[in-house]
Amino acid sequence: MTTAADLCAEVGLVIFPDCQLSAVYGLTDVFRIAGEMSASRAEGGKAHAIRVSHWQLSADGGEVVCSYDSHPGQPHRLTYLITPPSLIVPSRMQPMGNLTDWLASRHAAGTTLVSVCAGAFLVAETGLLDGRPATTHWAFAAELARRYPSIRVDSSRMVIDDGDIVTAGGILAWTDLGLTLVARHLGPTIMLDTARFLLIDPPGRMQQPYGGFVDRRDHGDAAILKAQLWMHGNGARDHAIPELAEIAGLGERTFQRRFQKATGMKATEYAQQIRIERAREALELTRKPVEQVAWDVGYGDPSAFRRIFQRITGLAPADYRRRFGLMQREAAGPAGGATP
């Protein structure tokens, strides 16, 4: 039987309405497997395990209770509390005042708060992320920054470890997070054994290459929407401010101010996003040379295209194709070699 001395950490997983239960149970499995890996390598020495507990509001919503414990019968000493992803967008998540108050009280008692994806919104509600760097799903980053402007949102990173608060990016970033905690408490060898057994990559990825263009069209400004649709219609090949302002029926200064307010970016930045999104698709689905892709999406200078593409995606076009290109994968044989 595992004793308190054998436990190197306790990870509490927070269950809330519409949270991603696969993340909750997946992390539970990661820590269990890591503990078994630790035991298999002990060879008569001391094996350690990570205790996992699940926490949620009681039926009446009045208190937070433990609904699962991998090592019952011992007092809880929560090292981490993880708020998992949500299956619904942040704007539809329910208020959880008692839960966020409990998170804040646990943090004050020394527990490290950890979030994955939209779980960052629960931690942000405590006020403990104010003035700190944090990440979330790239599609929710603008909403997190808008709702909590004092947070330094950086959605390019998969995991941001700020000591007593750790945030992780998109929905499946829980795998990176889980392995990071395994490495911290059971060592890198156990972490790599666990990753190999589960067929998942070790932590260290960036979220930026997975991101996409979050196109805001629900802002209610009909004049700006008209310009946006025109830009999409021609692939943003023509995006001169005077012409866009004329299409919107606005003066140039008014157009630029309202465009940034409505979309969250300048018209030139918006045009770049449209072009790069089309370039991504071409690199994923065709074998066209990078220079041809650049020309097709409106860049006469391939060097300029490469610089802008890498700035937005975090990868050079050729590297992006190697990672995400479907045509390239189809050209590989069963063992990863080229087909005849």
State pLDDT tens for residues 302-313. 999 999 988 888
Query: What residue ranges define each of the domains in the chain, with the CATH number in brackets?
Result: 4-210 (3.40.50.880), 222-328 (1.10.10.60)
Instruction: Report the percent of the chain where pLDDT is more than 90.
Output: 44
pLDDT band at 339 (very low <50, low <70, confident <90, very high): very low
- Helices 174-186 and 21-40: angle between axes, nearest 10 degrees: 30
pLDDT at position 45:
59
Distance, in Å, from the CA atom of 113 to the CA atom of 340, rounded to the nearest integer, reads 53
State pLDDT tens for residues 175-204. 888 988 898 888 888 888 898 899 887 776
* Residue of 58, 48, 49, 110 whose CA lies nearest to 81: 110
Residue 11 makes CB contacts below 8 A (sequence gap 6+) with: 27, 31, 50, 51, 52, 53, 78, 79, 80, 82, 181
Strand partners, 129: none
pLDDT at position 338:
38
By the 10 Å C-beta count (0-12 exposed, 13-18 middle, 19+ buried), 195 is classed as buried
Residue 335 has pLDDT above 60, yes or no: no
pLDDT at position 212:
61
By the 10 Å C-beta count (0-12 exposed, 13-18 middle, 19+ buried), 233 is classed as exposed
Residue 337 has pLDDT above 60, yes or no: no
pLDDT at position 62:
82
| 148-152, 214-218, 220-224, 272-276: the lowest-pLDDT one | 214-218
Residue 237 has pLDDT above 90, yes or no: no
Distance, in Å, from the CA atom of 174 to the CA atom of 234, rounded to the nearest integer, reads 39
State pLDDT tens for residues 23-70. 999 999 999 999 998 888 776 556 789 999 999 999 887 899 999 999
pLDDT band at 340 (very low <50, low <70, confident <90, very high): very low
pLDDT at position 191:
87
Instruction: Report the percent of the chain where pLDDT is more than 70.
Output: 89
pLDDT at position 274:
87
State pLDDT tens for residues 85-126. 999 988 888 887 789 999 999 999 989 999 999 999 999 999
pLDDT at position 331:
53
pLDDT at position 155:
84
Distance, in Å, from the CA atom of 107 to the CA atom of 121, rounded to the nearest integer, reads 16
Neighbours of 72 (CB within 10 A): 9
pLDDT at position 18:
92
First to last CA, the chain: 57
pLDDT band at 207 (very low <50, low <70, confident <90, very high): low
Instruction: Tell me the pLDDT of the chain averaged across its residues.
Output: 85
